[in-house]
Structure 1
């Protein structure tokens, strides 16, 4: 069922109706809440999994500076929430530590109900850059390095924000949700949605360049982390991103990474295999912990808002 507000938005913006019809198409065989044709990342072979948020395969292929053997995989998500549902939901990972710069896993923790040996939330107060409204990649690397030292016998997942916006180029403003014009009533912090609805006049070239530069900015910090990790490392993404490509079966031009729209540019992700020196970790299981940490609701909402996560 759809709320009155959603129906009103659909009438005002037919493109949103097209998006919803496409979602219904992809989930027509039962709403699993994720792309059932994607891989289960925990069934793959790795000691360390580095997730670059919203990194599409072709961009990574063209700009990768990490070396390794590049393949592709089909993700279970076209959004972080889909990815979490498809890989983490209702599962226990006593041999895995999750370091995340993204607040989405925390926000949906009661829905996902995953248990890890430990979860380290980099985006909390000490890891958050107020000026940019994100977590800088060097900060994520530092937290991941500490986790690798503390838990040498655990699988490690490191979830960077970049190349997901906000873009690290501080001269840009259209992507900074926390800098929304105070004179605009109910400003939408998600600039991809504003672009979809025609409320933002920014060229595809400008958007692509900023996105690519955000990937360029994170890769050196991933390189630094790789030099400190033991074992087989895979660099991948939770989902891709689109820049006006046609969706299907209703051929609207899509922007960003809407949940439930499993078109190729949104679910085809890099799978870069870095074997390091060939030494593998001796993985051992331990206790699991349920994330019971409490963060002020206003702080969580502010962080999500800055990253464009709005319902």
Structure 2
């Protein structure tokens, strides 16, 4: 059922009505996720590095990473949908999930997944207060720490880039980081104020920012590493079957731009010996060669530890707002 406010907004912005009609077509009215997509945990990998909102064609044209590039079809066109389709109600105690996105935390109860460990970098001192995101160098630090502590586990590392906020030269110069509410839907009624060309350039630069750090992590991690994405992004292309212009990554819309994702395979020595359940190291163990467990990153000067006075709900809302979800 739709609320009165949703119906009113659809009447005022017909493109949103067209989006909903396309969503009903793609989901056949009630599908929980894209049935044509792959189960990422059934694929062969020791380390899976996810880029957020990275479409295949953009990655193909820009990357210079080692390895063999293939493609896959994602089960979701939105992070929450990707998580629901791949981790819900599963025993994943052979996997450590290191994530820059608050989406798992926000939906943890509903997802009911069992990872060996979940490292919420966005609330563990990894948040960059200036750019209002988790920077890729921070993710490398936390991922390497997790790999050191859990050498017998699969490693799932979820970067935020190339997802907004834009941290490249074009993005910083043209998009107001003080304006947290990033309304993709405003593009439908000319309230956005940015051309498609500018948006593409900002996205491409965000990808350029993250790729060197992805390569650093690829070369540091043993075994088979795959670089992929949770979903893609639409920047003014036509959706289907109703050919309306689309922006962002709305759930339940399974166009090629939103579901065709990179799948780059890189071999770095022998495969890991993965063990389910108990690990050879615990989350409280220090990083080898140090006296203490990993501390908040120093790569981001403005990264600050979590303020105990801030509730979890407030923190999640702040992070999601910064990422344009609220």
Common fold by TM > 0.5:
yes
CA distance, structure 2, for counterparts of residue 175 and residue 157 of structure 1: 31
Q: Given the alignment of the two structures, is residue 216 of structure 1 paired with residue 208 of structure 2, yes or no?
A: yes
CA distance, structure 2, for counterparts of residue 74 and residue 81 of structure 1: 16
Offset of 1:296 from its aligned partner? 2.0
CA contact 2:81–2:251 (8 Å) conserved in 1: yes
CA distance, structure 2, for counterparts of residue 74 and residue 215 of structure 1: 20
Change (3 A) 1:55 1:140: same
1:174 maps to 175
1:305 maps to 321
- Alignment gaps of 5+ in structure 1: 181-187, 289-293
1:68 maps to 67
Task: Report 1:247-286 matches (<5 A).
Answer: 247-277=239-269, 279-286=270-277
1:20 maps to 20
CA distance, structure 2, for counterparts of residue 94 and residue 264 of structure 1: 32
CA contact 1:98–1:120 (8 Å) conserved in 2: yes
CA distance, structure 1, for counterparts of residue 112 and residue 243 of structure 2: 36
Offset of 1:287 from its aligned partner? 4.9
TM-score by length of 2: 0.87
CA distance, structure 2, for counterparts of residue 295 and residue 216 of structure 1: 34
Offset of 1:238 from its aligned partner? 0.4
Q: Deviations over 1:211-258 (max 9, x none)?
A: 001001001111111121011000000000011111111111001111
Offset of 1:198 from its aligned partner? 2.0
Q: CA RMSD in A?
A: 1.6
CA distance, structure 1, for counterparts of residue 111 and residue 7 of structure 2: 28
Please, which moves more after superposition, 294-303 or 109-118? Answer: 294-303
Q: Given the alignment of the two structures, is residue 40 of structure 1 paired with residue 32 of structure 2, yes or no?
A: no
TM-score by length of 1: 0.91
Please, which moves more after superposition, 163-172 or 6-15? Answer: 163-172
Offset of 1:11 from its aligned partner? 1.1
CA distance, structure 2, for counterparts of residue 257 and residue 156 of structure 1: 25
Please, which moves more after superposition, 110-119 or 163-172? Answer: 163-172
Change (3 A) 1:295 1:33: farther
User: Secondary structure of the residue that 2:122 maps to in structure 1?
Assistant: coil
Change (3 A) 1:173 1:129: farther
Offset of 1:173 from its aligned partner? 5.2
1:8 maps to 8
CA contact 1:49–1:234 (8 Å) conserved in 2: yes
Task: Report 1:1-311 matches (<5 A).
Answer: 1-28=1-28, 31-169=30-168, 171-172=172-173, 174=175, 176=177, 179-180=178-179, 189-277=181-269, 279-287=270-278, 296-310=312-326
User: Secondary structure of the residue that 1:232 maps to in structure 2?
Assistant: strand
CA contact 2:13–2:188 (8 Å) conserved in 1: no
CA contact 1:79–1:257 (8 Å) conserved in 2: yes
Number of equivalenced pairs: 294
